[in-house]
Each structure stands twice: as C-alpha cells, then as structure tokens.
Chain A
Amino acid sequence: MSHASLQVGPDGRLKHLLTTEGLPAELVRRILDAADQFVSVSERDVKKVPILRGKSIFNVFFEGSTRTRTTFEIAAKRLSADVINLNVGVSSTSKGETLLDTVYNLQAMDADMFVVRHSQSGAAHLIARHVKPGVAVINAGDGRHAHPTQGLLDMYTIRHYKKDFSALTVAIVGDVLHSRVARSQIHALKTLGVPEVRVIAPKTLLPAAVERLGVRVFNDMAAGLRDCDVVIMLRLQNERMNGALLPSSGEFFKCYGLTAEKLARAKPDAIVMHPGPMNRGIEIDSPVADGRQSVILPQVTFGIAVRMAVMSMLGSA
C-alpha cells in the first residue's frame, strides 16, 4: 500500500507520520506501548529524557492552533529536543512564498523533524515527498484529511480504559464531514480490530460514501448510541452552525448534543471523549463533559505521551 511506502520504510520502521490509514496494526501497538513508558516520565519530578538531545524540531503551523502546537512543543521538550515554533500562516505564505520553498528554507536550517499543520488536505504528504532523507514529517492536521497523533492518542485512551479493542462498539458523533480527527480515528479503530464503528450525524455533516470506510451510519442519535462502549464527540466549528448545513446550534444540540439522557443509551461504563476544544451546550452538555464517564482531560495528558512516543520513534533513527 502506498501509504505504507511513504510513511513506513521497507524495514517496517516509521519514517513519517502522515495518516493512520494503512499503518500496520503492529506499528500502532508499538506506538501505544512506547507511550506507556512516556506517561510515567510525565509523572516524574524531572519530566525529561535525553532521547532527542541535539535534535531540532520545527513546529510549522500554516493554520493557527495554539493548543495542538503547545502539546507538540511540550512533548519535544520532554524529549530534550530543541523546538522552534513558526506561525507560517502569518508570515511566508502571505508574502507569496510557496509551501515547498518555506520547507526548503527551514530544512536549510538543519531541521530534523517537521510538525506540520496546514489547511489543505495532502499538505503533509507533499512535504514528506520533498524533504531530505532522514528528515521526518509529523502531520499535525491537514485540511479534512488526517490528524494522526490525535487518532493515536484516542486509541491510547480507549486502550487505557477498555483494555481490549476486539469487542468494542465505538460511536463518533457530529461533524464527520469536515473532521480530520474522525477520519484518523476511523482508520485506527478499524486497524485495531474494533468490530463496530458508528458515525452519528445529520446527512449534511456526513461525507459521500462514508460507509465505505467501514463504519455504520446513524442519523438518529438515540439509536446510534445504543450499547456503545465509547462515545466520541466531535467539535462543531462555529462557521458550520448557522447556514446551509445546520439551521442553528440550538437545533444541533437538541438532536445531536450529548446529554446525560442520551448517554444513558450507551453502556453504563461507556467513556466519553472529545478532541477539544469543546463547545459546551452545542455538542456536549456540561454535566456530561465534567461527569464521571468523561475522559476528556486524560486524553490531553495521554496526548503528550503519544506525541513523545511518535517523536522518539521518528527521531532516534
């Protein structure tokens, strides 16, 4: 498979992390196992290991996101790497420099690893195809396509609470159409052998032929949540709330917002996840977000460990 050739070397080693699609299950498990070790690092007094000492990691964000960039920065620093943050969205491209020129320039400053976010699907693939051998690219989100570290940290979270993937029912709720997170989760869940992955959304927020990704489609939330082990809520972007896709955020909340009442349809021990940042009262009700089933904050903690795991695998070659 072509994904494997660009991001996984012939020896099975991770070269770049661009998408969860096509990642061998064995490799995903290795990343999650490595993250286990790094969770304990983050719990220590001295939260630092020297694995990437002397390496330069460039956070290149063509699309603003303080939170995601910060989690990568923390992960890199805990691995003792030097981190350079660039908000390219407001500098080079506005001066007309092409994406690849920007990358070549940064590469000339001896970057070892790029963490890239871009508003266009496929941007990370393009960069990975053009960097020097030995330079690694981590996709921190490209358009609607993929956000693999988010997908992996979600797998870590699910494994942490549910142990085994092989009997789970997982529902992903909300704006699947525009969500790179949902795509990365779906591929990862399928790879890890989850037998039933559901998407729950109105027809305006589902992409064409989404069932071909191996998911069951529900338009009715009550039916979709029945007997779920894991409920993943997606963020609804402001610009989608009042237009041709949805009449209002209020109506969305009524039909697809996660309330305690709706959550009761899922299994009693179901966990509730959200990639953040949350819109309380739009896709999720506060009592649920803060409730006993919510694992939203642990997701953030695990996110650091998973990103450390990915960076260490890419950087210690």
Chain B
Amino acid sequence: MKRIEIRGARILDPASGRDEPGSLCIAEGRIAAVGKAPDGFRADEVIDAKGLAACPGLVDLSARLREPGFEYKATLESEVRAAAAGGVTTLACPPDTDPPLDEPGLVEMLTRRAASLDCAHVHPLGALTVGLKGERLAEMAQLAQAGCVGFFQGNAELPDPATLLQAMRYAATFGFTVWLRPQDAHLARGGVAHDGEVATRLGLPPIPVVAETVALRTIIELMAATGARVHVARLSSAAGAALIAEAKARGAPITCDVGIHHLHLCDRDIGDFDAQCNLSPPLRDPSDRQRLREALADGTIDAVCSDHTPVDDDAKQVPFAEAEPGATGLELLLPLTLQWGRETGLKPAAALAAVTHRAARVLGVPAGTLEPGASADICLFDPARPWIVTPAALASQGKNTPFQGLELTGRVVRTLLAGRTVYAA
C-alpha cells in the first residue's frame, strides 16, 4: 500500500492536544508518524499541505443516510459522498429508515453497501424496539453482531416507562448503550416550536422545555434502576444540560450530544415561518443556546453532531407545522464547529475534540485520533477560507438548510479514509 507524507500542515490532534506544524506519515492505511517523518520513511506521495490544517476525520454521531426507504430524499451513495466532502470519516446512522433498522439482515446489507462505497466508516444504530413502535424489544444481541454500536428510538416516541425499563435492563445485560432522544411524547404532542415568545407570536403549537426535562428525569431514574449506559441524543435546553451535569456528577454512565444547529440558531431564527428552522428538537430560547454552547465547551455535553437529515423540497414547501423537521449538515459540521470554538474562545484543537475523539468515545469505536497506529482517517482543511453556503453546490442530496447564503470560514480540501483520498476539492 502507498506510503504518504502530508507535509507542512498545521497538525491538530484534539486527543493529544497537539497543535503544531509538521508532517503526517501514513503507511498501510495507518498513521505511521506525527510531527517528523521517521528516518528512512520514503513516501510514494507527498501532499503539500502548507497553509492547511490536518485533523482526524470527523466523527458524526448522527447522519441520516435515508436508505432504505427514503431514496427520493437521499441515497446511501449521495450521503457518504457528502460525508467525505465534509471531512466526516466516521458516522453513526439512526435506525429511523423505512423499514427501521430492526433486523440483522437490514443492518448487514447497509454496512456491506457502505463498505463497498468506501467513503466513510458507517456505524448503524439499531432500533431499540421493533418498528420503533415502543412495544417489543428488537433483537439487540443479533443486531449488535450485525454491526450495531447502540440502540436508539430515533425521533420516534420513547417507549412507555415500563417498556423502557425492560429495554434498558435488557441492553444492560449485554453492556449495550441505549440512545434516547429526551422528549416526553405526551408533553410534546402536536408541538413544533419552543414554547416561548416566538411560538406565541406565530401561533405555532409549542413544545415546552418540560418535555425534555421530564423525559430526562425518567431516563436518569431508569438508569439507576437498571445500570444501563445511556447516550442522550440532541439536548435542546439549559434545564436539560443541568440535569445531565447532575447525573454526571453522581457518576452515572451517561453521555450526551447536541446538534450543530442548536449551537448557532434559536427560535427567533424561525422569523416568518421559515420551515428550514423546523428542527427536532425545536430551536429554543437564546439563553438555552448559550448554555448549550457552554456545556459543550465544559464537557457536560460530550459531542456535537450534524444531525444530518436530508429532506426533499416538497416536504419543506408547506406550512411550518406540516414541514418535515431536519436539515442537511454533514458538509457544514466542520466550519460550524470551528465557528462555535472561535466564538467560545476555544483553541481549534479543543473545539475539534467535540467532533473527533470525544464523539468516538461515545460510539466506542477507535476513531477521531492521529495517534500512530490509528486508521489514517484525515481531514485536511483550509482554516481561513471563507465560503458561502450554496445548497445546489452541496454534495448531499439534502439541500435544505437554514444556513443558506451564510458565509462560513473553514473548508475541507481533502479527506482521507484509511490513507486513501475519498474527497478532494
């Protein structure tokens, strides 16, 4: 296999805290050396990376690939190419496909196809319950064997507490991580926007913050009762972050993430019914956004993800409440994470931790690091390059984004997966 030297890049390795110019040497698809090329290392290819930064390929805890079942919104192929274009080399895909990922055969097919496309390491999350209906447990042990790294209800309603208790108990038997969206279905029913001034003004049915905190309290209590490990997906509120901090302080085996949109937007951005801002969970108050930004910086929140959700135009060109929630995100994750870092006063390596090794730790996969011996999954980007979000120019089939027309800084130039270039600008 080819030996590669990436020369002259600013090397950003969040796991080690390294931030200095140097060389990255790759052999056999793995990182051979960082900093200086070892004596006798003869590269077959030298990538001149002066002016660029090199960080581990991003680890995205949630990217909907829309297969099977929603191929008119996006395909596995279009979305793994979007991942590569966004510098994302490892991603978890939620089970809310059609049919949902509740059968080992489906998972095997998905992972096999993803492997043959070879643009990103794709880790499916299995359905927690059959059909995501919240009634019968999915075959977790067999799904894990087929490649699932955790079990999730996606955006479907949480099971009732009795079923959730058993699901968590069963998952704990095998040490599986249960992923849960903290939203109480009764309190959120019919709602589409944060229960605040904007929803009141626009007359949009609300989703109160208590929908999140009530669900979180239930989840945390059931964790204590079952010993299950839980990953809380898509936190939306300051009150939710406080509950996570409390649980962590008690030593509960809990991790959590936030979607990238929720670090940058709030309910005001809905403006006059901009359906691009119909997201799940809803965008909340500016004070919630502020607390989420701080909580991600202080580690209360473990990772930020794109929550990439390609939605077709027809599903957005409807009245706000009827619009399908979600936005494209894979190709915006890097610049938006860097922007959050700058605005929060974090150094780039510290900011990137939230989309690299900290996210990999949640998934429990070896990724998100430039340590010698690790898979040579690398994102090379121009940290100073401004660009304007132009939906038509995105590789993803999902063109829907509230960031349309916005200028972002930091652009992926080249992405390597196990030492092979899977994207070059």
Decide if A207 touches B202 in the complex (CB within 8 Å). no
Minimum CB distance partner of A210 in chain B: B200
> B392 at interface (Cβ–Cβ under 8 A)?
no
Decide if A207 touches B199 in the complex (CB within 8 Å). yes
> B335 at interface (Cβ–Cβ under 8 A)?
no
Decide if A208 touches B196 in the complex (CB within 8 Å). yes
**Per-residue contact bits, chain B 357-387, to A (CB 8 Å; 1 contact, 0 not):** 0000000000000000000000000000000
Q: Which of A192-213 contact B (CB under 8 A)?
A: 207-210, 212-213
> A274 at interface (Cβ–Cβ under 8 A)?
no
Q: Within the assembled complex, what's the spacing in Å between the Cα atoms of A180 and B204?
A: 11
Q: Within the assembled complex, what's the spacing in Å between the Cα atoms of A2 and B201?
A: 14
> A77 at interface (Cβ–Cβ under 8 A)?
no
> A78 at interface (Cβ–Cβ under 8 A)?
no
> B40 at interface (Cβ–Cβ under 8 A)?
no
Minimum CB distance partner of B317 in chain A: A100
> A146 at interface (Cβ–Cβ under 8 A)?
yes
Give the residues in chain A near B203, CB-CB below 8 Å.
121, 142-146, 180, 183
Give the residues in chain A near B202, CB-CB below 8 Å.
121-122, 145
> B272 at interface (Cβ–Cβ under 8 A)?
yes
Minimum CB distance partner of A120 in chain B: B319
Minimum CB distance partner of B192 in chain A: A121
Decide if A21 touches B201 in the complex (CB within 8 Å). yes
Tell me, rounded to whole Å, the shortest Cβ–Cβ distance linking B266 to chain A.
Answer: 14
Decide if B273 touches A126 in the complex (CB within 8 Å). yes
Decide if B206 touches A208 in the complex (CB within 8 Å). yes
Give the residues in chain A near B272, CB-CB below 8 Å.
2-3, 6, 122, 125
Tell me, rounded to whole Å, the shortest Cβ–Cβ distance linking B89 to chain A.
Answer: 38
Give the residues in chain B near A145, CB-CB below 8 Å.
202-204
Q: Which of B179-236 contact A (CB under 8 A)?
A: 195-197, 199-206, 208
> B320 at interface (Cβ–Cβ under 8 A)?
yes
> A118 at interface (Cβ–Cβ under 8 A)?
yes
Interface residue count on the B side (C-beta < 8 Å): 22
Q: Which of A109-147 contact B (CB under 8 A)?
A: 118, 120-123, 125-126, 130, 142-146
> B321 at interface (Cβ–Cβ under 8 A)?
yes
> B160 at interface (Cβ–Cβ under 8 A)?
no
> B20 at interface (Cβ–Cβ under 8 A)?
no
Choose among A126, A146, A209 the residue that contacts B317 (Cβ–Cβ < 8 A): A126
Decide if A207 touches B273 in the complex (CB within 8 Å). no
Minimum CB distance partner of B315 in chain A: A98
Tell me, rounded to whole Å, the shortest Cβ–Cβ distance linking B273 to chain A.
Answer: 3
Give the residues in chain B near A144, CB-CB below 8 Å.
203-205
Give the residues in chain A near B208, CB-CB below 8 Å.
208
Known: A144-B203, A210-B200, A213-B201. A125 touches B318 (CB 8 A): no
Give the residues in chain A near B199, CB-CB below 8 Å.
207-208
Decide if B197 touches A123 in the complex (CB within 8 Å). no
Q: Within the assembled complex, what's the spacing in Å between the Cα atoms of A6 and B317?
A: 17
Give the residues in chain B near A2, CB-CB below 8 Å.
271-272
Max chain B C-beta neighbours (<10 A), residue from A21, A100, A120: A120
> B322 at interface (Cβ–Cβ under 8 A)?
yes
Q: Within the assembled complex, what's the spacing in Å between the Cα atoms of A144 and B192?
A: 13
Max chain B C-beta neighbours (<10 A), residue from A2, A142, A209: A209
Decide if B319 touches A121 in the complex (CB within 8 Å). yes
> A295 at interface (Cβ–Cβ under 8 A)?
no
Decide if A208 touches B200 in the complex (CB within 8 Å). yes
Decide if B318 touches A209 in the complex (CB within 8 Å). no
Minimum CB distance partner of A143 in chain B: B203
Q: Within the assembled complex, what's the spacing in Å between the Cα atoms of A145 and B202?
A: 5
Choose among B196, B197, B271, B319 the residue that contacts A126 (Cβ–Cβ < 8 A): B319
> B314 at interface (Cβ–Cβ under 8 A)?
yes
Q: Within the assembled complex, what's the spacing in Å between the Cα atoms of A210 and B195?
A: 11
Tell me, rounded to whole Å, the shortest Cβ–Cβ distance linking A101 to chain B.
Answer: 10
> A278 at interface (Cβ–Cβ under 8 A)?
no
Give the residues in chain A near B320, CB-CB below 8 Å.
120-122
Q: Within the assembled complex, what's the spacing in Å between the Cα atoms of A118 and B201?
A: 17
Q: Within the assembled complex, what's the spacing in Å between the Cα atoms of A144 and B205?
A: 8
Q: Within the assembled complex, what's the spacing in Å between the Cα atoms of A120 and B272?
A: 13
Give the residues in chain B near A208, CB-CB below 8 Å.
195-197, 199-200, 206, 208
Decide if A209 touches B204 in the complex (CB within 8 Å). no
Decide if B319 touches A118 in the complex (CB within 8 Å). yes
Binding site for A on B (CB under 8 A): 195-197, 199-206, 208, 271-273, 314, 317-322
Identify 6 new A-B residue pairs, CB closer than 8 A, beyond the known A100-B317, A122-B272, A142-B319: A21-B201, A99-B318, A120-B321, A121-B319, A122-B321, A126-B319
Binding site for B on A (CB under 8 A): 2-3, 6, 21, 98-100, 118, 120-123, 125-126, 130, 142-146, 180, 183, 207-210, 212-213
Question: Can you name 7 A-B pairs with beta carbons within 8 Å?
Answer: A2-B272, A6-B272, A122-B321, A123-B319, A145-B202, A208-B197, A209-B196
